[in-house]
Amino acid sequence: MSRAPSGETAVDKLSQAEAKAELKRLAAEISRHDKLYYQNDAPEIADADYDALRRRNAAIEARFPDLIRADSPSRRVGAPPATGFAKVRHPHPMLSLDNAMNEDEVREFFKSVRNFFRAPEDVKRVEPDSIAVMAEPKIDGLSCSLRYEHGKLVLGATRGDGVTGEDVTRNVETLGTIPKRLAGRGWPDIIEVRGEIYMEHPGFAALNREREKDGEPLFANPRNAAAGSLRQLDPAITAKRPLKFFAYAWGEASERFAKSHSDALKHLKAWGFATDPHSKLCHGVEQLLTFHRDMAAKRAALPYDIDGVVYKVNDLDLEDRLGFVSRAPRWAIAHKFPAQRAQTMLKHIRIQVGRQGTLTPVADLEPVTVGGVVVSHATLHNEDEIDRLDAREGDTVVIQRAGDVIPQIVEAIKDAKHDKRPKFKFPHKCPVCDSLAVREEGEAAWRCTGGLICAAQAVERIRHFVSRNAFDIEGLGDKHVTEFWNDKLIKSPADLFRLKAAQIESREGWGETSARKLIDAIAARKRISLERFIYALGIPQTGEATAKLLARHYRSFERWREAMTDAKDHDDAAWQELNNLHGIGEDTAADIVGFFAERHNQQVLDELEDELEIQDYAPPAAGAAPLAGKTIVFTGTLAAVSRNEAKARAEALGATVTSSVSAKTDYVVVGADPGSKAKKAAELGIKVLSEDDWLKLARG
């Protein structure tokens, strides 16, 4: 069987069943790493390893578009904000960047920019050998947004999940490199400046020396130190930390203030912000690649960490037209540096059990310094990866690290004693509850069959239930959930709402006041929106987007539960209704219906219904834009713009673009040689627009 470099089956060799299973595994694994990185500032894998997971996911989705999951990593950025700070909704999403890992991928990216446009004059402006592009070192810190009104700083926020971040205003006000009032003139009345909060090497070393002297744990690297320092609940602590800020972008602006990125950076500098002095305007891809090589050579001498170079199309008019795809802009890409490597000993392989019962092997390593960072753990992913590496306890292993996180194992060195060491035997029983573990055909992971009787799964499900974007119960952290479970205070989500202050106040670390606060916080969540409730249940493939889609369609908990319970057969009307929802594929539908087919899940729902008031879905007010909330299908060949540009424009105006015509379609835009979609639109009485009609509507 053909293998990818990482030891996995090559994407072009995957069967449909294997691809389906692999997308399911990748969605769960990437979601876990997003939470570790963005919420906990405690990543477990190297940047290069994480990027490889996302790239493999994207490659499989490109080959099997019908298998794209509702909880696909390609549909989300980062992770929900952690508790402890107020939520801030970004006026414009703070999206992530796609990555290029080598020079060929950079060239392909700029070819895709050229191919996005149709008119000859546009294509000429974006030819890869002449396109104007800003190249900026990719600072390894924490993304931050600063909102100014009439020149005064009024809000500072972290990126969070790209849509909602944390309010850290009081903390960012302590940074000397962030102006409290804008200098100069010409700034918009409202401007949201975006950039990176980071810590330079000398300041990081001094901070760790102080922590060591005070007996406190050391920060692993400057990025974690910067993130931990910014997220202090006491701003006085942040003020003592040597944090700095580079501005490199903007979000909301009440008026346009520049025609290009290079102009915008000049304005930001004039208004009092530090910008990276190494940023450079380049013309053509070869100049970009030369800049990347130069920065790689200078990297070790810089006073701060960088892990690559970001390329941004300089012309802002072109940026607007290129737009975005799900989680990333089409007009920018990050060209990462190669991973760094080292050797160490694999001491022990242990098994962790996740919320869905996945058994994940983790390697405990002899601590080793890689690129200035001490690492001691790495994930081994699954049984196949261990077999591919032939990794055994006691082996010397080669690890690689890119960025600031725990590395991946890329090789086990076969020394003279290797064959004498016993091979790792992957357990066929759950190490937590001793239930049988199974590995379904086409899947890489072993899963515990214990379900809710497995403490690891039950605890993880309750942790999810009370998490930020679910019930969001303040003061009920992971540690408390585990302790309450172990001491039999809770066994199911409904037990949370039956807790009494008297059961908690005498426990170690608790008192009358803290116990009362927790009970009040739980009581405050007894009234919950339908979409949050659905998300909180932790149904496989049912993330926030899918939960909102289900809530919007079924409107009430009673109707949704009845329909899901009835959807037992693919011939049932209830199944067809669910499966035909745009954004719900057959695989997702099967997971949702499967959840309702389990008797113990129905019992949990009965108990929760007795304890809670689940609010019906309230549709938002219609947007002012004529296309907001509309569903559009494009068919035929468009003359003035490419199909990609037309779709991007529609999505930017709040519309949903689909590939098939149904009774829920609002407009069908018809170009030359439209085919059967135009005929179906006429049969259904759906409004048909010519390309000229569409362009007029899109221009407002």
Burial class (CB in 10 A: 0-12, 13-18, 19+), 12: exposed
Could you give the CA distance from residue 56 to residue 1 in angstroms, rounded to a whole number? 18
**The token pair that represents 85 in the structure block:** 């700070």
- Categorise residue 216: left if φ over 0, alpha if ψ from -120 to 50, beta otherwise: beta
Residue in the structure block whose two tokens are 């007010």: 621
**The token pair that represents 417 in the structure block:** 């004693």
Short-list 534, 77, 136, CA closest to 324: 77
Tell me the torsion sign for CA atoms 156, 159, 162, 167.
negative
Q: What per-residue string of b and e applies to 623-647 under the rule 16 or more CB within 10 Å gives b?
A: eeeebeebbbbbbbebeebbbbbbb
Q: Which residues pair with 153 in a beta bridge?
A: 148
Tell me the longest C-alpha to C-alpha distance in the chain: 78
Q: How many CB atoms lie within 10 A of CB 58?
A: 16
Could you give the CA distance from residue 224 to residue 373 in angstroms, rounded to a whole number? 11
Q: Which residues pair with 193 in a beta bridge?
A: 146, 250
Tell me the torsion sign for CA atoms 676, 679, 683, 686.
positive
Query: How far is C-alpha 464 from the chain's CA centre?
Result: 16
For 448, phi and psi rounded to 5 degrees?
Answer: -70, 135
Residue in the structure block whose two tokens are 């060591």: 212
Helix, strand counts (H, E) of the chain: 26, 26
From the candidates 20, 138, 336, 647, give the one annotated as an active-site residue: 138
> What DSSP designation does 274 have?
-
Query: How far is C-alpha 139 from the chain's CA centre?
Result: 19
Hey, what amino acid is at 407?
P
For 567, phi and psi rounded to 5 degrees?
Answer: -80, 60
Hey, what amino acid is at 211?
R
> What DSSP designation does 39 have?
I
- Known active-site residue 138: yes
**The token pair that represents 471 in the structure block:** 């019930």
Could you give the CA distance from residue 195 to residue 197 in angstroms, rounded to a whole number? 7
Please give the positions annotated as active site: 138
